[in-house]
Structure formats: C-alpha cells, structure tokens
Homo-oligomer: A and B are copies of this chain.
Amino acid sequence: MNRTRLDRLLGDTDTDGYLLDASQDDANQLYLSGFTGPDPFLTLYADGEIHVLVSGLEYGRARTEAAADTVERHADYDYEYGGREERYDMYARFVRENGVESVSMPPRGPVGTADALRERGIDVVVDDEDVLEEVRAVKTDEEIAAIRDAQHANEAAMRAAESLLAEADVAGGGGASSDAVADGDTSDTGDVDAVEPGTLLHDGEPLTSERVAEEIEVTLLRHGCALDETIVAGGAQAADPHDRGSGPLRANEPIIVDVFPRSKATKYHADMTRTFCVGEPDSEAREWYDLTERALDAALDAVEPGATGEDVHAAACEVYEAAGEPTFRTDPETETGFIHSTGHGIGLAVHESPRLSSGAGELEPGHVVTVEPGLYDPAVGGVRLEDLVVVTEDGHENLTEYPIEFVV
C-alpha cells in the first residue's frame, strides 16, 4: 500500500473519517484493510490510523492478516449475531469510539449502513471522487511485481490456448480431419448436429470455446491464479466485445482470446488479449489485424507520464480513423468499428482507474493500464490485441511477453 498517498488523499476529505462496509470482494476494502474477509466487515480510516471491526469468526485471522492499526470484534461491543438495529448501533459506537462524528463513504458503499448511521446522528457524505480508487491507481513496486507475476501465469495460459488451436484438425479439410468427421457419431442426433466443414476438431470432437476456456483456466490454476470468466469468441460472437463465446470454433476466421486472471496469493490481476486464426484469414480480417497491431503500437508509444488517457485513446483512434474505420470519436452511435475505450487501470480490481478514453486525465508513474484496441463487425467478426503496461518515470514498461501472431 502507498501509505503516503493514502494519508494525503484520505486526509483531504471534509469528514473525520473514511468508512468501508464491504467484504474482500470490494477492492477498496481489500486494499485498506488488507483482510480477506468473505463477509462484509467495517474498516474505518481516521487520524492516520486504520481500524477494523469483524465478527468473532474472523477475529483470529483478521488479527494476523489485516494491515490495520486496531482490530476489534463484535463481542467488544457486546453484539450477538442476529439483530439488525443492534448491529447498526454497534457500527455507530465503533465509529464514535474512534473519535469520528462524520464519515465519507465511497459511492458504492451500502445505503443501508449509510442511512442507519445518519439516523444515529453520524454525518455520512458520499465521496463521489472515490478517492481510494485514486490511491489504488498508483502502484508500489511490490504491487507491480504482483501484477507482473500474474501476467506470467497469463502467458502460460495463452500458450495453452494457442497450442490447442494450433493442434486442431479442421472438419472437411484434409486427411485426418475427414477421418475425424467420418468417426463422429452423428447418427442419433440427425443432421443438425453434424459437424460443418471448417469446424475445428480436437480428438475428433468439435473444439468449442468452452473447451479452450477450460484449458486456459486449468493452466491458470496450475500457476496459482483463478479466473471465472474467459473470453474465447470466434466469428460473429467476437464482434460483441463482452461475448464470452460458446460452441464450436471455426477455421479461417479470427478467434479472440481475452484472459484476465487474479493471483490467489496476492489478489492482483493481469489481463491480455490475442486474436488467432487457424488457417488463412480472408483479406478483410487480415487487414483488420494489421490495423489493430498498428493501433496497439501507436497507443503504446503514447503511454508516458504527463500524457493523458485521452491522448493514448486518440493515438489508437487515429490509426483506425485514417483507414476509414468508425470510432466513437467519429460516430458516438456506431455499433461497428472501434467501439470501446483503449484501456483501463488494473490491480485488485480488473477494471479500475485510470481510464484510457475520451476525457481521461494524466498518466502518472506507477499507473498500470491495459492497452487494447480492437475492431468489431458481425459481418467480419472481431479482432483485439491487448498488452499490459506500467507507466514509468520516462515512458512505460510492457509487462507482457507474448508474440503478436495472427495465424496459428
């Protein structure tokens, strides 16, 4: 944790304290408390100290694990499990006994707790700037090392995915593939389930998005990372940037593989996207890939301290716009072309500050951001390339060591 930055930014709020009521699923909570509590608990920052209040069940672990100056448990406030009003009474006492009469809460803090504290005479102000997210945006060397480690695991997972694709047979193609089709048992399900020519095959079965995602996730687990959702999307599915992909994959069309795991040990994330094509893509997909590689390079070149997120986004947009592809800058309503921002900060949350988009502010050393231009159109499919970089004193360092190659 960057304690100097924390003290400066949290000390700047107009209230006596900063209050979180959340579980470890909330990145602010994980950052401020350092505690991996599975159920919501309170963390109060006041007068430069961090105070944590947990249930008896969590007390032992919290005392060992939390990065807090004090750790208290419900029993210290004579609270027994059950009553809602009594729980809020305890929360108000916890706040007051730490010398606090007014608290800031982040915008996504729970309204139930906010209103209950207000009813008990404590002033609760929404911190619209989400100052803790701003604190989190600038990483320490230790945090950068954690993200780098997660990206190394990610590289292993991407290799596993690429290998599965590279080793796939193609239905209706040459010898082995035709055999595989002939071997396939399509008799009881009829024609609808027959394997279409061009379908990728693995061990004689259609190679699906789900199967590739499983290989990625198993590889991540073997490398100490977890991931619930992976994007492996081909064809028209790839034209929707948030479609996770499903069903059989096909040759000769772009397949987007976007992997964003979290280290189990450090809880920090990584993020990488590659687009692969098994066999030759058509000329438009090839052109899209080359454009996207140029957009990636242009955006990466723009990442340095003092540049804004908007500058980096503009660098990617300009490459696409010069080639006549629509972007949100030329047409805010477009549903094809470059239809998302160029990137986002990453850390304890997959998406966090800073943004690389129109209106986004200055980059600082220690910011860790994805750079991920892409093109989308259901008629062509989708292409996206994504690296993960850290802003340094004099530019940036790319944390991603994975080749950029389309055809596998």
Q: Could you tell me which A residues sit within 8 Å of B by CB distance? A: 25, 38-40, 56-58, 60-61, 75, 80-82, 84, 105-115, 124, 126, 128, 214, 217-218, 221-222, 226, 228-229, 240-243, 262, 264, 328, 332-333, 335, 339-341, 351, 357-359
Q: In the assembly, what is the distance between CA of A84 and CA of B359, in Å?
A: 12
Give the chain B neighbours of A38 by CB distance below 8 A.
229, 242
Q: Are A81 and B339 neighbours in the complex by a CB distance under 8 Å?
A: no
Q: Are A81 and B229 neighbours in the complex by a CB distance under 8 Å?
A: no
Q: Given A240-B61, A242-B38, A339-B56, are A217 and B226 neighbors across the interface (CB < 8 Å)?
A: yes
Q: In the assembly, what is the distance between CA of A108 and CA of B115, in Å?
A: 11
State how many angstroms separate the Cβ of A370 from the closest Cβ of chain B.
14
Contact of A217 among B221, B241, B243 (CB under 8 A): B221
The 10 closest A-B pairs by CB, nearest first: A107-B112, A111-B114, A111-B111, A108-B110, A226-B228, A82-B359, A112-B126, A109-B111, A217-B221, A60-B240
Q: Are A109 and B110 neighbours in the complex by a CB distance under 8 Å?
A: yes
Q: Are A110 and B112 neighbours in the complex by a CB distance under 8 Å?
A: no
Q: Are B226 and A39 neighbours in the complex by a CB distance under 8 Å?
A: no
Q: Are A357 and B81 neighbours in the complex by a CB distance under 8 Å?
A: yes
Give the chain B neighbours of A221 by CB distance below 8 A.
214, 217-218, 221
State how many angstroms separate the Cβ of A130 from the closest Cβ of chain B.
9
Q: In the assembly, what is the distance between CA of A56 and CA of B328, in Å?
A: 11
Q: Are A107 and B107 neighbours in the complex by a CB distance under 8 Å?
A: no
Give the chain B neighbours of A128 by CB distance below 8 A.
84, 112
Give the chain B neighbours of A126 by CB distance below 8 A.
111-112, 115
State how many angstroms separate the Cβ of A384 from the closest Cβ of chain B.
13
Give the chain B neighbours of A80 by CB distance below 8 A.
332
Give the chain B neighbours of A114 by CB distance below 8 A.
111, 114-115
Give the chain B neighbours of A241 by CB distance below 8 A.
57
Q: In the assembly, what is the distance between CA of A285 and CA of B328, in Å?
A: 65
Q: In the assembly, what is the distance between CA of A25 and CA of B23, in Å?
A: 12
13 A-B contacts (beta carbon < 8 Å): A38-B229, A38-B242, A61-B242, A75-B332, A81-B341, A81-B358, A82-B359, A105-B111, A107-B111, A109-B111, A110-B111, A111-B114, A111-B126
State how many angstroms separate the Cβ of A109 from the closest Cβ of chain B.
5
Given contacts A57-B242, A111-B111, A218-B218, 4 further A-B contacts (CB under 8 A): A61-B243, A75-B333, A81-B357, A111-B124
